Amino acid sequence: MDNLESIISIKNLRMSYGDKNVLKGINLEIPRGQIIGYIGTNGAGKSTTIKIMLGILEGYEGKVEILGQDISNGSVEYKKKIGYVPELADIYENLTAFEYISFLGGIYELEQGKLIERAEKLMKLFGIEGAIYSRISSYSKGMKQKFLIICSLIHNPDILFFDEPLSGLDANSVMIFKEVMSNLSKDGKTIFYSSHIMDVVEKVSDRIVLINNGEIEADGSFEDLRNAKKESSLEEIFNQITGFNDHGRIAKEFVSLVEEV
Ligand SMILES: Nc1ncnc2c1ncn2[C@@H]1O[C@H](COP(=O)(O)OP(=O)(O)OP(=O)(O)O)[C@@H](O)[C@H]1O
């Protein structure tokens, strides 16, 4: 597969929950090595898009191809080549990290000894060495997040789906993670990065895709969007596209309601 070929191809993707049309025709072609910042308001359909690509959400219309494979054909081979950090972790917290990594080794059909060794080294780099034999339920929020990031990468996948991956990470760890993303992308990994932290999205993304009302309303580099929208920050571009300039009034009303008592 050469550089110009799409690693992820989404054609006319539609998804509804009952009467509610969440995705109304998303089209995206993503080449190898790109970092896509996928943004939108709360409830815009970002996680829905990611879960469809991961093959954990069915009932969509349209065509989704990952690594050249139509994901609706029932094959799970492509799942071995993707990594995922979920917005809300549903990890087996009663297991120790050691047990969990061993379990992943089984899923990915990788040699467990090597995987554990790699996990221990990665945990050390993230400053959570020594926790591998503790139950995940005993971890702090940041430790869990670091462990989730490690799990998403442990099998050296080609595509990463990060849904709000910085949640709970301290500033130093955020710096490491941003650098890790940049190095992964240089090595040809494709990263689908969904987050509400606009200043980070602005800095790390090669391309920013903004969904609003179920459709793509902006798609381009930060420079492209800045020139098109005549705004200087991604936060301002986001406010403009989503038609929001009411934060002052809402905040005032919010506080006056709080202080009514
Ligand atoms: N299982 C479900 N059943 C019914 N509605 C759902 C379901 N999952 C999501 N939705 C609705 O679909 C919409 C899109 O949800 P989704 O989680 O994809 O949004 P999001 O862009 O990731 O939002 P956020 O930024 O808040 O995480 C929301 O209105 C949500 O209420």
Q: To the nearest whole number, what is the mean pLDDT of the chain?
A: 92
Closest protein CA for atom 27 of ligand 1: 42
Could you tell which of 48, 161, 212 is best to mutate to test the pocket of ligand 1, judged by most ligand atoms within 8 Å of the CB? 48
In CATH, the number for domain 6-258 is: 3.40.50.300
Closest atom, ligand 1, to C-alpha of 41: 25
**Interface predicted TM-score (ipTM):** 0.97
Q: How confident is the model at residue 218 (pLDDT cuts 50, 70, 90)?
A: very high
Q: Which residue has the higher pLDDT, 23 or 78?
A: 23
Backbone φ and ψ of 244, nearest 5°: -115, 120
Q: Does the pLDDT of residue 201 top 80, yes or no?
A: yes
Residue-wise pLDDT tens digits, 1-59: 444 578 999 999 999 999 999 999 999 999 999 999 999 999 999 999 999 999 999 99
- Domain boundaries defined on the chain: 6-258
